[in-house]
Amino acid sequence: MAILETRSAHCQRSRWATFLATSTSAFALAMTANAAQPAQNSKVEEIVVTANRSGAESLQKVAAAISAVNIQQVDQSGAGNLVDLAKFTPSLSITQGAPGYNKFDMRGLTTGPYAGSDTSDRSLVAVYLDDTPISVQGQTPDLRVYDLERVEILRGPQGTLYGASSMAGTIRFVTAKPSLTKTFGSLEVTGGATEHGQGSYSLRGMFNTPLANDQLALRGTIYTGEDGGYIDNIGLRDKKDANRNRSTQGRLALRWRPNDRFTADLSATVEESRAYGLNSVLSGLPAYTTSTNSSEGTSDDLQLFSLNLDYDLGRADLISTTSYTWRRLGYDASIESTIGYFFQDYGTGLPVGPGAYPLFEEPSAYSQEVADSIPAEHFKIDNKIQDVMQEVRLVSKDDGPVKWTVGLFFEHQQRNLYQDIPVPGFDTLSYQNTFYGPFNTPNGLYNSQTVDHAFNPNDIFSGLQNLEERQIAIYTDDTWHVTPKLDLTAGVRYFSFRENYYLFEGGVYGVVNHVPLTLNAVQKADGFNPRFNAAYHVNPDLMIYAEAAKGFRYGGANQPVPIGSSGIAGQCAQELAAYGYSSAPLTFGPDHLWNYSIGEKARLFDGRMTLNADAFYIDWKDVQTRLGLNCSYFFTDNKGAITSKGFEAEATIRLTPELTLSSNLSYTDATANGDLVFTGAFNGDQTPYFPKWIGSVFLFYDRPLGDGKLHAQISYQYRGEEHTTFNDYSTALVNGVLTRTGPSASYAVIPAQNNVGASIAYDFGRYEFGVYGTNLTDGVKITDIVRATYYAPYQAGNLETAARPRSFGVRIKASF
């Protein structure tokens, strides 16, 4: 083991030695090449952002760790999914299980995977569409990157301006607004092929037209496309390329500017996406192969309406944002292996075969025949979300010694989660009647609905979680220009939050002694969230800054854990007692952190290079951690602390007027600060699902050619290996001390990723033609691993999330 670790460390150091050597060589080349180049057309283009919510300003003047993604370069590269954003910024990790199911992590702030059935599992990274929050933990909508001005990625807590769920950072999709003076549009068609899979296509359109010159304009966009499947299902589902997905999205935006002082933007965004399979494979089967007996997939229906009003009061701008979000999310899985034990023989002496219990002998190893004989498990989770948000802020003009922002935020969200696991034939084919009958039913036979209060017969689990949340906040963020070179900023947000939570669980997985579990809980929180920032402008091209900012995340309600003297309830009671609990808490509180950072932003060599770097230290306290009990229940409480420290750097170099090199690099060391008994983490263990090293290099080539312009780019991203739990031990609390009890059944190492992409495009007036390739070396294969535990004999190895293999495509765009 030590030899393997040494070799792994040596390989990683070698990769980064090569990376740094390449970057250094490129830097030297830049300086040599630019020495002979005229200043014009050789400078890095200025990027304007609105991340501080106080007006547009140069990215190089914002005293914070912010990345801005160039949308044109994203489109030309053939990328466009949310997960592709991780290539363009350091310290960002995005894990995708299927379209619409994306988990965002920044700076190593994570304790494990999200649970799709846990509505109290809250995001640490906030995602905004303009000024409207749209993120749900692990389920951020996969809005295709199109007709955007840019994507702004803010690293570090943004709680003062963006509120809860932005503890680690914020991502903003900034849309292009209607032009009041010009009529124009575009139509783009793409077609592609994926190794091991089907073809893909997309159609994108955009139009802009003034309705009343200089006062009223309409802008519309539409996207429809299908990503071909690449995973074959050899179970009873028996479908080749089973994981294709299709999405249709549209957006209408109306801008009204009756005079120079007032602007109103009204927009409607809709999405309908369907994935007809999951990106899951089984490690014991051939590559890109899975086995299920029923269909799988996801669905995402989104309607978002927003009204933004901006009125110039003279000395300040009054800005109002009103939004309404309606969303329906569906998740369907077919994981027969987890229920196989209901149908195996336990030495009853009964004949084994189809049509009656037992269906098969207890397997000693995986058998496809046994896997195919397990009744199909239709694992279903449906989410319904309605959200109303209102924000009003007053922003001063930056023409005095103090620039200030004050705002009021209100949000009311209702969320209903419906969970059901129908298994055709379960009532008669499982061991219920053999071992536990007769039941209190007319014929004495088991019935999931009448005995265990499931929604329907043959439902092994039925559940409801209904939430109603209200939050209100008042905030201010103010900058004092002490001298022409020194700026001091202070901000604070007061928040008040209330959640009403109702839960019901029925079916054999949701009852104790045939009694369903129910819960009503109320959770409240309020407090203050401050930040402090100092920026010193050494000269017009160099700024250094330091920041201390607090981030917070609301708490939530726990699913109940049964307590009793025997059976599952007795086992739960004993395990709770070992951790010092007489019962599981009904609710858990907010967690919070302090982020301390120093950084610089520089324009060098007459603007031919930008270099932005920062170092951070994060102290995360009262961490919301989940305790998974062996009796199959879990709960969350505020236990333990995590420390994260590291650095981030981004550089763009204009090597020649035609050639630009851009790169980013981050190192993150996020570890348990003391033992985290709920997650089995020992002091110093690295947080799961986040690599220590992340780095990317992009080379862009642009030059006039004939009557048009040629654009080419090549990219490489490296992500170090990551693991699925804090360590590879099974642990228990013994006499109050966290103790190793053996090897972990769930620990797995997700391999490092080497992602190579390339594209070339030719723009000749009204038309553009391009070709692209993604994951060219197949250096990204597996992005998540779930090891089989008690159900290993029924599953062909680990359940792994497989990235899309090497793909190629062409794109044609026409503009008018």
Three-class SS state of 451: helix
Domain count, the chain: 1
Q: Which of 169, 199, 192, 194 is nearest to 86 (CA)?
A: 169
State the pLDDT at residue 145.
62
- Counting every residue written for the chain, the total comes to 816
pLDDT beneath 70, residues of the chain? 1-41, 80, 138, 145-146
State the pLDDT at residue 163.
87
Q: Do the beta carbons of residue 268 and residue 786 sit within 8 Å?
A: no
CATH of the domain at 614: 2.40.170.20
Q: Do the beta carbons of residue 496 and residue 526 sit within 8 Å?
A: yes
Beta bridge partners of 734: 737
C-alpha dihedral sign at 287, 137, 665, 619: negative
Q: Do the beta carbons of residue 387 and residue 325 sit within 8 Å?
A: yes
Element of type H or E holding 316:
strand 316-333
Give me 69's structure tokens: 């993604």
Distance CA 10, CA 17 (A): 10
Q: Classify residue 138 by its DSSP letter.
A: T
Distance CA 278, CA 721 (A): 23
Distance CA 271, CA 304 (A): 9
The per-residue DSSP string of 599-659 comes to EEEEEETTTTEEEEEEEEEEEEES-EEEEE-TTS-EEEEE---EEEEEEEEEEEEE-SSSE
Distance CA 689, CA 105 (A): 8
Q: pLDDT tens across 131-157, in order?
A: 998 887 767 888 776 688 889 999 999
Distance CA 791, CA 366 (A): 10
Helices (H) and strands (E) in the chain, counts: 8, 45
Range(s) of the domain holding residue 748: 2-815
Beta bridge partners of 801: 280, 784
Q: Which of 449, 446, 448 is nearest to 433 (CA)?
A: 446
Distance CA 124, CA 141 (A): 16
469 half-sphere exposure, CB direction, 13 A CA radius: 26
Q: Which of 599, 590, 579 is nearest to 535 (CA)?
A: 599
Distance CA 555, CA 536 (A): 37
Using left for φ > 0, alpha for ψ between -120 and 50, and beta otherwise, residue 126 falls in beta
Distance CA 309, CA 131 (A): 12
Beta-carbon contacts of 383 under 8 Å, excluding residues fewer than 6 positions away, are 136, 139, 327, 328, 329, 330, 415, 416, 417, 418
Distance CA 366, CA 373 (A): 12
State the pLDDT at residue 380.
96
Distances (CA, A) of 581 to 229, 335, 495, 577: 48, 33, 30, 5
Distance CA 192, CA 677 (A): 48
Distance CA 381, CA 693 (A): 35
The per-residue DSSP string of 196-246 comes to TS-EEEEEEEEEEEEEETTTEEEEEEEEEEEEPP--EE-STT-BTTTT-EE
Give me 348's structure tokens: 């009853």
Radius of gyration of the chain (CA): 28
C-alpha dihedral sign at 235, 237, 238, 243: negative
Question: What angle (nearest 5°) sits at the alpha carbon of residue 48, between those of residues 47 and 53?
Answer: 145
C-alpha dihedral sign at 431, 435, 439, 441: positive
State the pLDDT at residue 38.
41
State the pLDDT at residue 726.
96
